[in-house]
Amino acid sequence: MSHDHGHHKDTFITKYIFSIDHKMIAKQYLISGLLMGIIGVVLSLFFRMQLAWPEQSFEIFKIFLGEKMAPGGVMRNDIYLALVTIHGTIMVFFVLTAGLSGTFSNLLIPLQIGARDMASGFMNMLSFWMFFVSCIVMIASLFVESGPASAGWTIYPPLSAIEEAIPGSGMGMTLWLVSMAIFIASSLMGSLNYIVTVINLRTEGMTMTRLPLTVWAFFVTAIIGVISFPVLFSAALLLIFDRSFGTSFYLSDIFIKGEVLHYQGGSPVLFEHLFWFLGHPEVYIVLLPALGITSEVIATNSRKPIFGYRAMIASIIAIAFLSTIVWGHHMFISGMNPFLGSVFTFTTLLIAIPSAVKAFNYITTLWKGNLQLNPGMLFSIGLVSTFITGGLTGIILGDSTLDINVHDTYFVVAHFHLVMGISALYGFFAGVYHWFPRMFGRMMNKTQGYIHFWVTAVCAYGVFFPMHFIGMAGLPRRYYTNSNFPLFDELADTNVLITVFALVGSAFQLVFFWNFFYSIFRGKKAPMNPWRSNTLEWTAPVEHMHGNWPGEIPAVHRWPYDYSKPGHDEDFVPQNVPMKDGEVELHH
């Protein structure tokens, strides 16, 4: 990285569109992620309405789904599955992987380690634009004649492989696979860039044990991504072969619509293994960056060092390692050997240990702090709360014996939405509120932030807590309506309540969007270091410039968590402040 970056004359195109500057790419990821988030959430509201008021006619369906998908305003049953599928895909991959990781890894890795940009700015740009193309293809799949992919976000064959099984497995599924293939390429380019940048471009004095926990989380996340995403790519490739070229990797002995298909010798269980080899680490690809953001935001706003810095790093690494050997807990009842089930139960429940360490470390960080309850801080505390509530039920689902009866019920829906959906979303919001001044040079309105948090917090519990109970009643997920089972009649009111909470909670996200876009243009001008934080990003000028620092890159002399350190006048000591005579690094 050369210093003359700042002297380039930027045109509109190179500054805002084909930018190779990591800060601009971060904003591009952020805005695209938020827009995809709107689509993902609106789809979920549509199917929640169908669940609460089954097979009723809604004007809004006539407008948005049209006569074909919702004849007379009543949602079709295969379109219900399509909405569920695309909601899952968009939220998991496009919002919480690309939106979250893409935004904050790009923004924070160079700024927090003291680098002028990513190792390869061009590859970074390419990564974003491939992500953008994959978004377009995924959105386009919503409009194809036979409907979008409808086999669930896990796209288990044969349902996803045979068009006769469900209309969405025609053109819709093809576009889904194309979109995901491009997405994976984008994600790999991003991840490789993050890894190389963290390893090679740290500023003077920035040892690995002086890295902020955000960077640790992004770094480890990128490594898991590089290990697991290619496996999904292979899985998708073999599925494309089965679909288009008549191979039998996943298919065997199929009789459908009165005809025997030629497939022989394949197994859907193979696909499940390959899919979850990515699918489970994916949960942590979503969650770890959120936990990294939370670590930073909680420490800064508690005016205290994060408790157990090294234990936090160790638990991130432990979670990352374990995450790659637990995928089988999605398959306890898939027909795989029960002995494998035992092994996966064992490894799965082990994850509770580093998770517990993290939760207690967060709580201890709050203890005897001087908590500045900014909106970012509220979302971080909220994250710890939903992470605990959602994580604990993992002890039940990870236990093969108990999984038998709650597998694929609403209990699972409650569990993963709390532990990875809501938690990661809170991490996302915490990051936006916290680093908004760094991105846009302005502040977001805190009152609107408070309203946003408290309503969201209540609604998140309101939506997902009751789902545990209807799940333990044995209600399967992905049912278009429960009205064919008199046994489930008593659950109808609860479904209405859940939907109302979902509608209210989602409506209040508009407060956030208003706050976000209004503040970009009209927010209060931000001071250089509004949260009085220690990390390096707050030593760089607010104005947009290539290379991040006008002069020399600051050197680092201490870890990032010297908050309220005895012997200093201020309650924070930025990383670039040299050690005083006789001062010791206490965390070692």
Partner 1 sequence: MNGLLILLIIVLLGVAAWQLSKIFSLTQIGTAKDDSAIATDKDNNINGYLMFAFVAFIYIFTIYSFVKWGSFVLDTPASLHGKDVDRLMNISMAIIFFVQTFTQFLLHYFAFKYRGKEGQKALYFADNNKLEAIWTIIPVIVLAVLILYGLYTWNQIMYVNEDEEVINIELYAKQFGWEARYSGEDNTLGKANVRYIKDVNTLGVDMADPASQDDKVVGEIHLPVGKKIHFRMRSQDVLHSAYMPHFRAQMNCVPGMVTEFAFVPTLTTEDMRGTAMMMKKVDGINKIRAKKSQALLAEGKPALEPYKFDYLLLCNKICGASHYNMQLKIIVESEADYKKWLKEQKTLSVVIKEANAPKVDPAANPADAKVVVDTTKMLAQVVGKN
Q: Tokens standing for 403?
A: 């999984």
241 binds partner 1 (CB under 8 A): no
Phi, psi of 563, rounded to the nearest 5 degrees = -100, 140
CA angle 508, 459, 351 (to 5 degrees): 120
Cβ–Cβ under 8 Å, residues 142 and 40: no
Q: Give the Å distances, CA to CA, from 473 to 410, 412, 506.
A: 9, 12, 27
Count of C-beta atoms within a 10 Å radius of residue 373? 12
Question: Quick check: 321 binds partner 1 (CB under 8 A)?
Answer: no
Nearer to partner 1 by Cβ, of 38 and 270: the residue is: 270
Which one of 23, 304, 557, 558 is in contact with partner 1 (CB under 8 A)? 304
Among 374, 423, 509, 533, binds partner 1 (CB under 8 A): 374
Name the 3-class secondary structure at 442: strand
Q: Which two tokens stand for residue 278?
A: 């990515």
381 near partner 1, judged by CB under 8 A: yes
Q: Which residues between 170 and 229 bind partner 1 (CB under 8 A)?
A: none
Contact status: 346 vs partner 1 (CB under 8 A): yes
Rounded to 10 degrees, the C-alpha dihedral 61/66/69/73 comes to 40
**Which of 78, 144, 247, 518 forms a contact with partner 1 (CB under 8 A)?**
78
Q: Which is nearer to partner 1, 9 or 368 (CB)?
A: 368
Q: Is 402 in the site for partner 1 (CB under 8 A)?
A: yes
Using CB under 8 A, pick the residue from 152, 205, 230, 441 that binds partner 1.
152
Smallest separation, CB 390 to partner 1 (Å): 10
Residue 165 in contact with partner 1, rule: CB under 8 A: yes
Q: Does 561 bind partner 1 (CB under 8 A)?
A: yes
Which helix (H) or strand (E) covers residue 360, if one does? helix 352-366
Distances in whole angstroms, Cα of residue 401 to Cα of each of 218, 241, 340, 470: 34, 36, 13, 19
Binding flag, residue 484, partner 1 (CB under 8 A): yes
# chain residues binding partner 1, by CB under 8 A = 149
Task: Give whichever of 193 and 400 is closer to partner 1, judged by the CB atom.
Answer: 400
| Furthest CA-CA distance within the chain | 85
Please identify, using beta-carbon distances, which residue of 81 and 553 lies nearer to partner 1.
81
Min CB(327)–partner 1 separation in Å: 16
Q: The tokens of 222 are what?
A: 């990128």
Cis amide leading into 158 (omega within 30):
yes
Of 186, 400, 495, 576, which lies in the binding site for partner 1, with binding defined by CB under 8 A?
400
CB 1 within 8 A of CB 117: yes
- Residue 441 as a binder of partner 1 (CB under 8 A): the answer is no
Regarding 504 and contact with partner 1 (CB under 8 A), the answer is yes
Q: Residue 338: is it exposed, middle or buried by C-beta count within 10 angstroms (0-12/13-18/19+)?
A: exposed
Torsion region of 205: left, alpha or beta (phi above 0 gives left; psi -120 to 50 gives alpha)? left
Work out which of 446, 545, 577, 583 binds partner 1, going by CB under 8 A. Answer: 446
Q: List the structure tokens of 180.
A: 């995901």
Q: Looking at 275-283, 418-426, 540-548, 556-564, which segment touches partner 1 (CB under 8 A)?
A: 556-564
* Residue 31 touches partner 1, criterion: CB under 8 A: no
56 binds partner 1 (CB under 8 A): yes
Q: Does the footprint of partner 1 cover residue 384 (CB under 8 A)?
A: yes
Of the pair 12, 255, the CB lying nearest partner 1 is at: 255
Binding string to partner 1 for residues 243 to 272, with x set by CB under 8 A, is what?
--------xxxxxxx--x---xxxxxx---
Contact in structure between 412 and 397 (CB atoms under 8 Å): yes
Q: Which of 28, 186, 393, 576 binds partner 1 (CB under 8 A)?
A: 393
Residues 140, 142, 146, 152, CA torsion sign: positive
Min dist CB 472 to partner 1, Å, is: 4
CB 66 → partner 1: shortest distance, Å? 17
| One of 142, 206, 320, 378 touching partner 1 (CB under 8 A) | 378
Shortest Å distance, C-beta 173 to partner 1? 13
Determine the interface stretch with partner 1 among 22-30, 72-80, 282-290, 539-547 (rule: CB under 8 A): 72-80
Q: Are 281 and 191 in contact (CB under 8 A)?
A: no
Applying CB under 8 A, the span of 7-15, 209-217, 238-246, 481-489 interacting with partner 1 comes to 481-489
CA gap 166, 172 in Å, rounded: 11
Evaluate whether 306 touches 561 at the Cβ level (below 8 Å).
yes
Smallest gap from residue 304 Cβ to partner 1 (A) = 4
Binding of partner 1 at residue 370 (CB under 8 A)? yes
Q: Which is nearer to partner 1, 122 or 346 (CB)?
A: 346
Rounded least distance, CB 461 to partner 1, Å: 6
Q: Is 477 exposed, middle or buried (0-12, 13-18, 19+ CB in 10 A)?
A: middle
388 binds partner 1, rule: CB under 8 A: yes
Using the rule CB under 8 A, which residue among 158, 170, 225, 547 binds partner 1?
158
DSSP secondary structure of 259-315: EE-S--S--HHHHHHHHHHHHHHHHHHHHHHHHHHHHHHHHHHHTSPPTTHHHHHHH
